[in-house]
Amino acid sequence: MSNNKVITANELTKTFGDFVAVDHISFEVEKGEIFGFLGANGAGKTTAMRMLCGLSMPTSGKATVAGLDVYTENEKIKRSIGYMSQKFSLYDDLTVKENMQFYGGIYGKKDAFIKSKTASILQELHLEKEANVLVKSLPLGWKQKLAFSVAVFHEPEIVFLDEPTGGVDPVTRREFWNMIYQASANGITVFVTTHYMDEAEYCNRVSIMVDGRIEALDAPAQLKQQYHAASMDDVFLKLARKAVRAAD
C-alpha cells in the first residue's frame, strides 16, 4: 500500500437489517487532498464516514484510515483523526477556551502545547475577547468555525467533516473554506460531506453517492466534462435523480 493513500475503502458495506445503507463502496483518498463526499439525504454519506471514524462497525468489506485497519485498530485510528459531526458538538456550557483545553487534554496533549495552540486559534478566529465566553452565547457561524478548529486542535492526519456548513451564511461559509484550505496546506487530509455544490467545486476530488453506492468519483472539472454539465450542480442533479431511495 502506498504511503500517500491515507484512506482506502474496498467494497465497504453497512447494512441495518434488510436495509443496505452503504453498498460496496471503494475509493482512495490521498494525503493532503480535499475529498468531497456528496450525495442526497439518506444516500449513506454519514454512515460511510462513521465507519471510517470508528463510530460504526462495517458489515463487510475492507478499509484503512491512516494505514490502520478499521476493524482491529479503530482506537488507534482515533489518535490520527479529527471529526466534526452534523450536530454541533462542543460543550455549550463550557467557554471557548475550556472546550479547547478539554479536547486538547483528552487527546493527551501537553499543557504547553494546549496553551500556545489555544492562543493561536483564538487569534486566527479573532475570538480573543470571547475566550472566556460560554460557547452557547456565540452565533452559529462562529460556533462552526470554532468546532472545526477544535476538530484539528490535536493536529490530526485526517479530518472528517460532516456537513460542516449547514445553516451557515455565505460569508462565513467562505471563511470556513479558507480554514479548510489552510488545514490542507498544512498537510491535513480533509474528508468533507456537503450539500452545497459550490463547495464541491472547491474540492480536489469528489465522489457522488446515490442509494448507498458511489456513482461517480473524479475531479470536479473531469466530472463536468464527463456528464456534459455546466456546473457541479448539474452533475449532481443528473446523478441524484436516479435515486429510488426516499430521502429522509
Partner 1 sequence: MRTIRFLLQKEFRQIFRDPAIIRLILIMPVIQLMVLPWAADYEVKNIKLAVVNQDHSEYARQLVNKITASGYFNLAAYSGSYNEALHQIEEDKADVVLQIPAGFEKNLVKENEATLFMSLNAINGVKASLGGAYLGSIIQDYNRLVRTEWIQMPRFSPETQIAITSSNWFNPLMNYKYFMVPGILVILLTMVGANLTAINIVKEKEIGTIEQINVTPVRKFHFILGKLIPFWLLGFVVLTIGLTIARLFYGIVPVGSFFTIYVFSAVYLLAVLGLGLLVSTYSSNQQQAMLLSFFLMMIFILLGGLYTSIDSMPEWAQWITRFNPVSYFIEVMRMVVLKGSSLADIRIHLLIMLGFAVFFNGWAVLSYRKRT
Q: Contact residues for partner 1 (CB under 8 A)?
A: 53-57, 74-76, 78-79, 81, 83, 85, 87-94, 98, 101-103, 105-108, 134
Query: ∠ at Cα 193 (189, 196), nearest 5°?
Result: 120
Shortest CB 247 distance to partner 1, Å: 21
What's the rounded Cα separation, in Å, for the pair 164 and 152?
Answer: 13
Instruction: Output 18 or 75, the one with its CB closest to partner 1.
Output: 75
Instruction: Output 188 or 232, the one with its CB closest to partner 1.
Output: 188
Neighbours of 95 (CB within 10 A): 17
**Residue 215 burial (C-beta neighbours within 10 Å; 0-12, 13-18, 19+):** middle
Shortest CB 171 distance to partner 1, Å: 26
Inter-residue contact 14 to 22 (CB < 8 Å): yes
Shortest CB 134 distance to partner 1, Å: 8
Instruction: Output 126 or 136, the one with its CB closest to partner 1.
Output: 136
**Residue 123 burial (C-beta neighbours within 10 Å; 0-12, 13-18, 19+):** exposed
Inter-residue contact 23 to 30 (CB < 8 Å): no
Pairing mode, if any, of strands 68-69 and 60-65? antiparallel
Instruction: Output 56 or 118, the one with its CB closest to partner 1.
Output: 56
Inter-residue contact 15 to 59 (CB < 8 Å): yes
Give 3-state DSSP helix, strand, coil % of the chain, rounded to 5.
40, 25, 35
What grid cell was written down for 59? 458489515
Instruction: Output 158 or 240, the one with its CB closest to partner 1.
Output: 158
Say whether 60 sits in a helix, a strand or coil.
strand
Shortest CB 39 distance to partner 1, Å: 20
Query: ∠ at Cα 197 (192, 198), nearest 5°?
Result: 95
Instruction: Output 25 or 100, the one with its CB closest to partner 1.
Output: 100
φ and ψ of 189, to 5 deg: -80, 135
Instruction: Output 74 or 194, the one with its CB closest to partner 1.
Output: 74
Shortest CB 158 distance to partner 1, Å: 12
Shortest CB 98 distance to partner 1, Å: 6
Shortest CB 206 distance to partner 1, Å: 23
